[in-house]
Structure 1
Amino acid sequence: MANLLYLVHRLPYPPNKGDKVRSYHLLRHLLQRHRVFLGTFLDDPDDEQHLPTLKALCPDMHVERIVPRNAKLKSLTGLLTGEALTLAYYRSAGMQRWVQEIARQHSLQASVVFSSAMAQYAQPLTPQVPMLVDFVDVDSAKWTQYAPAHRWPLSMLYRREGQRLLAYEREVAAQAHRSYFVTPNETALFVSQAPECHDKVQSLSNGVDADFFSPDPQRVSPFSAGEQAVVFTGAMDYWPNIDGVSWFVADMLPRLRAHWPRARFYIVGRSPSALVQSLASEHVVVTGTVPDVRPYLQHAAAVVAPLRVARGIQNKILEAMAMEQAVITVNSCADAIGASAEQGLLRAETPEEFVQALQPLLDTPGRAADLGVRARAYVEHGFSWQAHLSGIDQCLGTLPSTDALNPAEAAIHV
Structure 2
Amino acid sequence: MNILFVSPYTPSPIRVRPYQFIRHLAQRGHAITLVCAADNAAALTELRAICRQVVAVPVRRTDHLLAYMRALPGALPLQAAHCLTPAMVAAVAHEIKQGKHHVIHIEHLRAAEIVRAALRQCGDGPPAVLDAVDSITLLFERTLRRGANLSSRLRALIDLARTRHYEAAYPHRFAAIAVTSPEDRWALLTLNRALDRPGGCPIIVAPNGVDLTYFQAYTGPRQPHHLVFTGKMSYHANEAAARYLIEDIMPLVWAKRAEVTVTLAGAEPGPRLRAYARDPRITVTGAVPDLRPYLTEATVAVAPIRYGVGVQNKVLEAMATATPVITARQATVALSAQPGRDLVVAGDASSFAHAILTLLDDDERRAAIGQAGRLYVERHHNWQQSVSRLETVYASAGTSLHHR
Residues 90-99 or 24-33, more deviating: 24-33
Q: Which stretches in structure 1 are left out of the alignment for 5+ residues? A: 402-413
State the partner residue of 1:38. Answer: 34
Q: Residue 331 of structure 1 contacts residue 349 of structure 1 at CA under 8 Å; is this kept in 2?
A: yes
| Pick aligned residue for 1:92 from 68, 85, 89 | 85
**Contact (CA 8 Å) 1:360, 1:367: kept in 2 or not?**
no
Which moves more between the two structures, 234-243 or 102-111? 102-111
* 1-structure distance, mates of 2:302, 2:190: 31
Letter in 2 for 1:389: V
What is the aligned partner in structure 2 of residue 12 from structure 1?
11
Q: Are residues 237 and 154 of structure 1, via their aligned partners in 2, closer, same or farther at CA, if it must alter by over 3 Å?
A: closer
Match of 1:203 in 2: 205
Whether 1:260 and 2:257 are equivalent positions in the alignment is yes
5 Å-filtered alignment, 1:375-414, equals: 375-398=373-396, 400=398
Shift of residue 398, structure 1, vs aligned partner: 4.6
User: What CA deviation, in whole Å up to 9, does each residue of 1:332-379 have, x standing for no partner?
Assistant: 211211212343311111001101111231012232112101110111
- 1:27 alignment counterpart: 22
CA distance in 2 between counterparts of 1:83 and 1:52 reads 33
- Give deviations 1:190-248, integer Å, cap 9, x for gaps: 11111224762121111111111014568x96x5xxx5211000001100000000011
TM-score (norm 2): 0.89
Distance 1:349 1:276 in 2: 23
Distance 1:157 1:50 in 2: 29
1:356 corresponds to which residue?
354
Q: Is the CA contact 1:109–1:129 (under 8 Å) kept in the aligned structure 2?
A: yes
- Counterpart in 1 of 2:186? 188
Cα-to-partner distance string for 1:14-34 (whole Å, 9 max, x where unaligned): x12xxx111111112322232
Structure 1 residue 94, shift from structure 2 partner:
1.2
Match of 2:247 in 1: 250
Q: What CA deviation, in whole Å up to 9, does each residue of 1:309-350 have, x standing for no partner?
A: 211110110110010012111112112112123433111110
Change (3 A) 1:265 1:69: farther
Q: What is the match of residue 121 of structure 1? A: 114
Match runs of 1:6-405 below 5 Å: 6-13=5-12, 15-16=13-14, 20-31=15-26, 32-43=28-39, 47-68=40-61, 71-72=64-65, 74-123=67-116, 124-125=118-119, 128-148=125-145, 149=147, 155-195=153-193, 196-197=198-199, 200-216=202-218, 227-280=224-277, 281-398=279-396, 400=398
* CA deviation after TM superposition for structure 1 residue 289, in Å: 1.5
Tell me by how many angstroms 1:179 deviates.
0.6
Q: Aligned partner of 1:106: which letter?
A: G
CA contact (8 A) 2:211 2:382 kept: yes
Change (3 A) 1:56 1:363: same
Displacement of 1:38 in angstroms is 0.6
**1:74 Cα deviation (Å)?**
4.3
Query: Partners of 1:94 and 1:73 in 2: how far apart?
Result: 13
SS at match of 1:230: strand
Q: Which residues of structure 2 form unaligned runs of 5+? A: none
Q: By how many angstroms is 1:278 displaced?
A: 2.0
Shifted more, 65-74 versus 3-12: the winner is: 65-74
Q: Is the Cα–Cα contact under 8 Å of residues 343 and 378 in structure 1 kept in the other structure?
A: no
**Equivalent pair of 1:143/1:159 in contact (CA under 8 Å):** yes
- Supply the distance in 1 between the matched residues of 2:363 and 2:148 (Cα, whole angstroms): 39
Residues 218 and 322, structure 2, Cα contact 8 Å, conserved in 1: no
SS at structure 2 position matched to 1:339: coil
Q: TM-score, normalised by structure 1?
A: 0.87
Q: 1:199 to 1:61 in 2, by over 3 A?
A: closer
**Bigger CA drift: 250-259 or 69-78?**
69-78
Q: How many residues align?
A: 390
Partner of 1:291: helix, strand, or coil?
Answer: coil
Q: Percent identity?
A: 25
Q: Point out the more displaced range, 165-174 or 203-212.
A: 165-174
Task: State the alpha-carbon separation in 2 of the partners of residues 81 and 189 from structure 1.
Answer: 24
Cα distance in structure 1, aligned partners of 2:300 and 2:218: 17
- The aligned residue for residue 2 of structure 2 is 3
